[in-house]
Amino acid sequence: MKNQKNIAKEIRRKAIKKNWRLFRRSKLGMIGLYIVIFFLFLTILQPILFITGVWNKGVYDPVVGYSEQFQEFLVVECPKEYPTEKYDERSDCPGRTEVNIKTLFYSDAQVGETIIQNLQPAPPSRQHILGTDSLGRDVFSQIMEGSQVAFVLGLLSATLGVGISTILGTIAAFFGGRIDAYLMRQSDLVLMLPTLPLLFIISAFAELKIWHLAVVLGIIGGLGGSVITIKSQALQVKVKPFVDSARITGGSRMNILFSHVLPNVAPLALLFMVFSVTGAIASESVLSFLGLLNIDMSWGLMIYLAQVEGFIFSGMKFWWLILPAGLSVTFLTGGFYLVGRGLDEVFNPRLRDR
C-alpha cells in the first residue's frame, strides 16, 4: 500500500509541475503573479516592522503616527508686480525654501530672517521614503496598510460572491423549471443595477465599514451575471455520461450535485473569483475617494484626503500624496486580472499557443 501512495504522489507532482509550467508560459500570468506577490509582501512587511521594533509605532503608524519634519525657511516679502529681478512670475514667489511674510500669522519674524517650520506634507526623505502626509503620517506605511485593506476586502468579497453564484448557478442548472426561471430573472435584475450608484445609496442609509462593504459587494457580485455563466457550465457537466452513470446506479440528485457537478464547475468559479477581486478593490477606492466609507486608512482614502485638502490641484508639487496610492490601485487590480488571464490559459487548453 505504501507503493500505491508513492506512485500517486509522483503522478500528482508531475501534474502540478505541468500546470505550473503552463502557467509560467503565460507571460501575462507571471507578470500578474509577481505584482500580486509584491503587494502581498508589503502587506506582511508592515506588521513585521512594527513587531520587530524596527519602526517606532508612534512615528510610523499610518493612522495616528506623527513625524515632525523641520525645515529652514527664508522670510521674504512677495512683490506686487512681476517680473522682477528675483522672480519671473507670481507663482515663483515664495520659492520652495521661502515663506511669504504675509502668510505668517503667529510669528514675529521679519523679512530676511530664517525661521524653522514644520513642513507637512513633507517630500520623501531618508526617514520617510515616500514622504509624509499633511498630518505627518508616513505615506509608505499608509500604502502598506492600504494593501492589507485591499487584500482582505478583495478576497472576502470575491469568496462570498463566488460562493453564492456557484451554488445558485448549479441549483439553476440542476433543478431547472421555475427555480431556474426565477434565478435567471433575478440575475438579469442585478445585472441591470449599476453597482456604484447602488453603493452610494446604501452608504446614505447605513454607515459602511470595510467589512460591510465586503459583504455588500459579495452579495451583489454573487447574484449577478456570474450565476448565468456558472449555470451554463453546470448544464454542460450535467449531460456528461459520468453523470448519467451515477443516475443509473441510483445516486440521488443531491449526491450527484455535490459530488459530480460542483467539483467540475469549481475551476470556472476560481477564475471568476480572481477577476472579481479587481472589481472589489476598484469599488473600494472609488467609494473612499468620495468619502463614503467609514474607514481608517486605504488607498482610496489617501487620494480623498489629498483632494479634500487641495493638494491635488497643485500639480505635481505634492506627487507623493497622489501617485503611490493611485498606482497601487492600478497595479494591484491589474495584477489580479493578469493572474486570471494566466489561469484561463491553464484551464482552457484552446487558448494556449501550443
Partner 1 sequence: MKNNLIEVRDLEKYFEVSGGLFSRNKSVVKAVDGISFDIPFGSSLGLVGQSGCGKTTTARVLSLLDPKTNGNVYFYNEESSSMQSIDELEGEELKKFRRNIQMIFQDPYESLNPRWNIKDIILEPLNIHNIGDLKDREEAVYEILKTVGLTPPENYMPRYPHELSGGQRQRVSIARTLIMKPKFVVCDEPTSMLDVSIRISIMDLMLNLAKDLEVSYLYITHDLAVARYMCDRIAVMFNGKIVEIAETEELLSNPIHPYTKRLISSIPIPDPSYKRERYELDFTELDSIIKSNSNNEPMVEVKDNHFVATHDIKGIL
Partner 2 sequence: MNILEVKNLNMSYKTIDGEVEAVKDVSFTVKEGESFGIVGESGCGKTSVAMSLLQLQADNGKITNGEIIFDGTNIVGLSESELRKVRWSGISIVFQGAMNSWNPVVKIGEQIREAMREHYPDKTKEENTTKILELFGIVGLDSSVIDRFPHELSGGMKQRAVIALALSCDPKLIIADEPTTALDVVIQDQILNEIRKVQEVLGLSLIYISHDIAVIAEMTDNMAVMYAGRIVERGPTKEIFANPRHSYTKSLLESTPSVVGDKVKLKSLEGEPPSLINKESGCSFAPRCPYREDSCNPSLDMELVEIGTDHYVDICSAGKS
The site for partner 2 (CB under 8 A) is made up of 21-22, 25, 354
Question: C-alpha cell of 200?
Answer: 452610494
CA-to-CA distance for 242 and 249, rounded, in angstroms?
11
- Closest separation between CB of residue 261 and partner 1, Å? 10
The cell for 247 is 443516475
State the minimum distance, in angstroms, from the CB of residue 180 to partner 1. Answer: 17
Q: Which is nearer to partner 2, 25 or 212 (CB)?
A: 25
Whichever of 9 and 21 has its CB closer to partner 2, that residue is 21
Nearer to partner 1, 260 or 341 (CB): 260
Cell numbers describing residue 34: 509577481
Pairing mode, strands 98-100 and 70-76: parallel
Distance separating alpha carbons of residues 307 and 302, to the nearest angstrom = 9
**Sign of the alpha-carbon torsion through 195, 200, 206, 211:** positive
- C-alpha distances (whole Å) from 173 to each of 180, 249, 265 are 7, 21, 11
d(CA 157, CA 284): 11
Decide which of partner 2, partner 1, none touches 22; Cβ closer than 5 to 8 Å per partner kind.
partner 2
Least separation in angstroms between residue 352's CB and partner 2 is: 8
Answer for the pair 141, 62: CB distance below 8 angstroms, yes or no: yes
**Looking at beta carbons only, is 7 or 129 nearer to partner 1?**
7
List contacts with partner 1 (CB under 8 A).
1, 3-5, 7-8, 11, 15, 240-242, 244-251, 255, 260, 263-264
Closer CB to partner 2, 22 or 93, in the complex: 22
- Closest contact distance (angstroms) between CB of 354 and partner 2 is 5
- Residue 103 touches which member of partner 1, partner 2, none, C-beta under 5-8 Å by kind: none
Helix 210-223 to helix 262-289 angle, to the nearest 10 degrees? 130
Looking at the Cβ atoms of 152 and 262, the one nearer to partner 1 is 262
- Count of alpha carbons within 13 angstroms of residue 275, beta-carbon side: 16
Q: Residue 21 touches which of partner 2, partner 1, none (CB < 5 to 8 A by kind)?
A: partner 2
3-state secondary structure of 95: coil
User: Which partner, partner 1, partner 2, none, binds residue 246 by CB below 5 to 8 Å per kind?
Assistant: partner 1
Q: Indicate which of partner 1, partner 2, none lies near residue 263 (CB less than 5 to 8 Å, by partner kind).
A: partner 1
Which of partner 2, partner 1, none sits in contact with 25, Cβ below 5 to 8 A by type? partner 2
